[in-house]
Structure 1
């Protein structure tokens, strides 16, 4: 069955669109089940991050691409024509290449960032849990993970750690001359926020506060990094103390509003506050940028911050592309080999069925007292007629059509040397 990819990412759609097609983690299995149950896809994996929402599907034919884009629009309550302007799609080999590039970090906002591989693996596991993964995508993703691992180990793509987290901290360093005198408030306790926290610690931030919906999760991260842990509901009490606010949660609604920031800047006596929102959907209301002395950045604003780091990874990316080219070729060859194996199994099963039918007839004839020699002759004759029936019909049709190429192929398959005197 053909493999397709449908999606939007940071290259094709602004954050305002990406946040509207993002899938909440707790609704992912429901979405996958809907996609498969509607028979748009036979198998599906959905990757949804701050920079992309992509659907990897095994389908009946290429025409399913348009139907899956429509499903994505319907699921999120979007206009189909409007969404199509931002969507891209890939088919078969291009789809295989794309998912390998994504998992290897070659299609990321920050070239070579490692978090995406974990996110793809998580998406794969969720699809497994939802029983929306079959042999096609199982085979594909095992190959994808193998290639992504090779890219990490055989190239320098992962050196000089850069990520959205690193870019956010780099932005803070540019705005504050010395972040060693700064207080940072981190909202969320996932992998990205943990990376932000570690980068800030490495750069000597004076004070670190971690806010999360679950206090236990915030305390765990805070303990590891000698930080303070608070609940999301307490953010309003701590915001005025923060010079740097970096947020990345899975919340479907904004956590920080314009009014909250206005109160905080007033309490800070208008000392500048940097807010970096790296969540999709956004954690911080866009109107916050209207607040004087508040400087709001989203993931889309980080492009310039990371540009220099991207250049340093270009050579490694070229080597990685070669590994991916090889990976695509090996996967497609394995896919064709699997198809041939299936054909061979089917052919053998058909021959086995004919054998059993003729053998059953022979045994019944022996039971009735027919002479063994006569039974053996009929058995051999019956086997020969049934086994050569399909090839004989093929040869006759090819001959009637004067299809010499078909006749040559048949001669080779049947082991017949037409030039030999018979």
Structure 2
């Protein structure tokens, strides 16, 4: 079995492709089970965020292409339309990729902390669905441990840089004084909570939180002196908003062009700044065609983000060094699995020989032999039986000139070390 990391992200695919390949909460469990039923897949985890969709699997060595085909087939897309945007990593490279993703080194925002929670959630979903076993469980726990160490040992997370922070920074560039503006936040997840926090810290005048579950929206809005509405009430409050930031898990847009047009008329065409962080998108792309609307997607935030992440570059280099060391550690553990069965077989063989000789020694005692004679027989016979095959093989290796095998045996049995202490 080989570890495979396969997927696409903000670097390899535009948002219109990424949104077609997401695995929302309503389909993720079914997708995991479907993937795990693939004849070449043993274990599986699916990570799906606004910036990436990735499969982590243990697969047969030659099954990489068929797993790539699965992701297209599951979403009903032609393979040729998806394959140009996919990347894949095998073995060591797959381990390194997951560690980099978990630490935020592969994120749109360098070192952003949200991704670790998303990776943990993806693993927990897969684990609860029964699609993970020993290998992926060990790999993901290893990734979580490394991410925690990097957060502790480097300054990767010290600067307040995130997609939410970038959205608020852009709003500040457009509206010089946020105290006179009203922000409408659509959704109540972690990204929206971060956006709310940044807006509040920057003195936003008013805040409205819209969510499918009004109670969750109310709990978030109450922290920042805002008020909550249901998603069905959006059209009645959109005209109040100068800033709209949206990040829901809805498979379909929650704001259409007609609704926004009506709000603009009511506002007498005062502009609205909109940031759609969701994938699939929450705001219909056609909204950007309207005058007095400034609509940005996650891809458009890249320039803002680049300006705010320079301080993390040095920490990122330190993190890469830590990751390299821990990739080697995991691969070492993985290689050790190859020896487990051999060790067990060797121990079983030794125990069989022990039982065989012990039985004969006990028979001698029963026939009247003294305990000393029985013990000498036991020690001599067991030693001969344990050493016979290795001695025979080493003798043959010497005859055949197999010096590498002789050197390996010397290392295995630590014979030089034994000589030096005698």
Tell me which residue corresponds to 1:355: 354
Post-superposition shift, 1:349?
A: 2.3
Gaps of 5+ in 1: none
CA distance in 1, matches of 2:207, 2:327: 45
| 1:25-44 alignment, distance < 5 Å | 25-44=25-44
Shift of 1:3: 1.7
Residue 320 of structure 1 corresponds to which residue in structure 2? 319
Distance 2:412 2:319 in 1: 41
For residue 402 of structure 1, report the CA deviation from its aligned partner. 4.8
2:49 alignment counterpart: 49
2:240 aligned residue: 241
The Cα of 1:13 is off from its aligned counterpart by 0.6
Distance 1:39-1:416 versus aligned 2 partners, 3 A rule? same
1:60 Cα deviation after fit:
3.2
Give the CA deviation at 1:41.
2.2
CA drift of 1:351 comes to 1.9
Alignment of 1:371-382 (within 5 A): none
Secondary structure in structure 2 of the residue aligned to 1:25: coil
The residue aligned with 2:58 is 58
2:293 paired residue number: 294
Whole-angstrom distance in 2 between the partners of 1:126 and 1:357: 50
Shift of 1:81: 2.5
CA 189–351 in structure 1, closer or farther in 2 if over 3 Å, else same: same
CA contact (8 A) 2:159 2:309 kept: no
How many angstroms does 1:85 deviate by? 0.8
Match of 1:160 in 2: 159
User: By how many angstroms is 1:332 displaced?
Assistant: 2.4
Match of 2:13 in 1: 13
Alignment partner of 1:295: what SS? Answer: strand
Alignment of structure 1 residues 63-212 onto 2, 5 Å: 63-212=62-211
Question: After superposition, what is the alpha-carbon deviation per residue over 1:257-276, rounded to whole angstroms, capped at 9, x for unaligned?
Answer: 11111111111111111111
Residues 1:26 and 1:394: Cα distance change in structure 2 (over 3 Å): farther
Tell me by how many angstroms 1:318 deviates: 1.2
Of 34-43 and 378-387, the range deviating more from structure 2: 378-387
Other structure's SS at 1:300 match? helix
1:227 paired with 2:232, answer no
Q: CA 1:354 to 1:68, structure 2 compared with 1: closer, same or farther past 3 Å?
A: farther
TM-fit CA distance, 1:130: 1.1
| Mapped partners of 1:124, 1:412: distance in 2 | 40
CA–CA separation in structure 2 for the residues paired with 1:55 and 1:267: 46
1:304 Cα deviation from its structure 2 partner: 0.9
Distance in 1 of aligned mates of 2:360 and 2:232: 81
* Secondary structure of 2:20 counterpart: coil
Q: 1 CA distance for matches of 2:334 and 2:240?
A: 58
1:345: Cα distance to partner?
Answer: 3.3
Q: Classify 1:187/1:345 alpha carbon distance in 2 versus 1 (closer, same or farther; 3 Å).
A: same
Greater Cα offset, 330-339 or 152-161: 330-339
Cα distance in 2, alignment partners of residues 52 and 191 from structure 1: 17
Q: Following TM superposition, by how much is the alpha carbon of 1:344 offset from its aligned partner in structure 2, in angstroms?
A: 2.5
Q: Distance in 1 between matches of 2:385 and 2:75?
A: 56
Alpha-carbon separation, structure 1, partners of 2:81 and 2:364: 75
Contact 2:44 2:56 in 1 (8 A): yes
* Counterpart Cα distance in 2 of 1:390 and 1:162: 64
